[in-house]
């Protein structure tokens, strides 16, 4: 018998599919991310008497052989708390283990956040990727964003609500003019959608928010990073022409030398060195 992966509603119970209901009703065993969440869902769907096992990253190694053994002779369904099993949870490892054991796998279509957010964003979808959660530290986040944006395709991300502001601030450093779409509590009663640059969204999002958060970043064709020497040469050239610090920073930003705010500090420092040198002469 196939091991059947069944997506569950993201927030609106009516998003359950007819095929999902059939498999949940017929299952001898339902493998869930959190059995407490699964029980609430089954109760809402008026499905009773199903055996429930928990399958998480912490117990996956121990439970996987038992799940596969049951799946050889019984109807076994795999679910998650919300959405498609295997997306940001260990379900994909179970698929691989089943294939290796010669057990067929079936995946039902249904609710899934990444493609829905991609479409809601209105950003180009000829190519897009799901990136999961950004790293938790600032340095790692900036590097991850830089790597992802170099691919020049729409990227979809999850984020914890209490880290959203910090994450968008880091994105603003890497790509200050990026087009961003944020959705909170997708499909739920208090769903919220925001579009703008990272800084614009930060200004509109409270520091303390609740609920599930996902965001999309449009393809970002950033100008190639200039060599340090060429940046200083450009600064010196404009300063020699009588340019003021703010004007020089503005011109260089438009020419792709980097973020205007960071350039301002660099131009100011360069001007101070130049003035000191002239005074000594």
Instruction: Give CA–CA dist 132/113, Å, rounded.
Output: 11
31 has a pLDDT exceeding 80: yes
Read off the tokens for 75: 């109807």
> What confidence tier does 227 reach under pLDDT thresholds 50, 70, 90?
very low
Distance CA 48, CA 46 (A): 6
Q: Of 64-68, 172-176, 233-237, 255-259, which one has max mean pLDDT?
A: 64-68
Question: How does pLDDT run across 115-145, given as a tens digit for each residue?
Answer: 999 999 999 999 999 999 999 999 999 999 9
Q: Helix, strand, or coil here: 239?
A: helix
Q: Classify domain 3-107 at the CATH superfamily level.
A: Tetrapyrrole methylase, N-terminal domain (3.40.1010.10)
Average pLDDT over residues 220-241: 68
- Decide which of 3.40.50.360, 1.10.3720.10, 3.55.10.10, 3.30.950.10 is the CATH code for 113-217: 3.30.950.10
Split at pLDDT 50, 70, 90, the class of 87 is confident
Give the start-to-end residue ranges of the domains of the chain: 3-107, 113-217, 228-280
Give me the pLDDT at residue 229, please.
Answer: 54
Q: Would you state the pLDDT for residue 226? A: 45
Alpha carbons within 13 A on the beta-carbon side of 135: 13
The stretch 44-61 carries a mean pLDDT of 94
For residues 266-276, give the mean pLDDT.
84
Q: What is the pLDDT of residue 223?
A: 41
State pLDDT tens for residues 62-74: 999 999 999 999 9
pTM equals 0.73
Strand partners, 130: 156
* Mean pLDDT, rounded, of the chain: 90
What is the pLDDT averaged over residues 80-91?
88
């Amino acid at each position: 018998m196939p091991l059947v992966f069944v997506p569950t509603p993201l927030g609106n119970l009516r998003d359950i599919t007819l095929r999902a209901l059939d498999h949940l009703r017929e299952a001898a065993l339902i493998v869930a991310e959190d059995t407490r969440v699964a029980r609430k869902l089954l109760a809402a769907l008026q499905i009773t008497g199903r055996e429930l096992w928990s399958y998480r990253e912490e117990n996956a190694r121990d439970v996987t052989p038992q799940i596969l053994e049951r799946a050889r002779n019984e109807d076994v369904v795999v679910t998650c708390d919300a959405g498609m099993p295997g997306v940001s949870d260990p379900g994909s490892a179970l698929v691989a283990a089943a294939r290796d054991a010669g057990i067929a796998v079936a995946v039902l279509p249904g609710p899934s956040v990444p493609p829905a957010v991609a479409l809601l964003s209105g950003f180009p979808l000829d190519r897009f990727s799901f990136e999961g959660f950004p790293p938790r530290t600032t340095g790692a986040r900036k590097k991850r964003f830089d790597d992802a944006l170099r691919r020049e395709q729409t990227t979809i991300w999850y984020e914890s609500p209490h880290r959203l502001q910090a994450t968008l601030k880091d994105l603003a450093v890497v790509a200050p003019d990026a087009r961003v779409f944020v959705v909170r509590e997708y499909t739920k009663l208090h769903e919220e959608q925001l579009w703008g640059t990272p800084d614009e969204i930060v200004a509109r999002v409270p520091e303390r928010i609740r609920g599930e958060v996902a965001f999309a970043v449009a393809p970002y064709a950033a100008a190639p990073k200039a060599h340090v020497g060429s940046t200083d040469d450009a600064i010196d050239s404009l300063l020699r022409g009588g340019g003021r610090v703010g004007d020089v920073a503005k011109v260089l930003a438009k020419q792709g030398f980097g973020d205007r705010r960071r350039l301002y500090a660099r131009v100011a420092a360069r001007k101070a060195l130049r003035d000191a040198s002239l005074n000594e002469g």
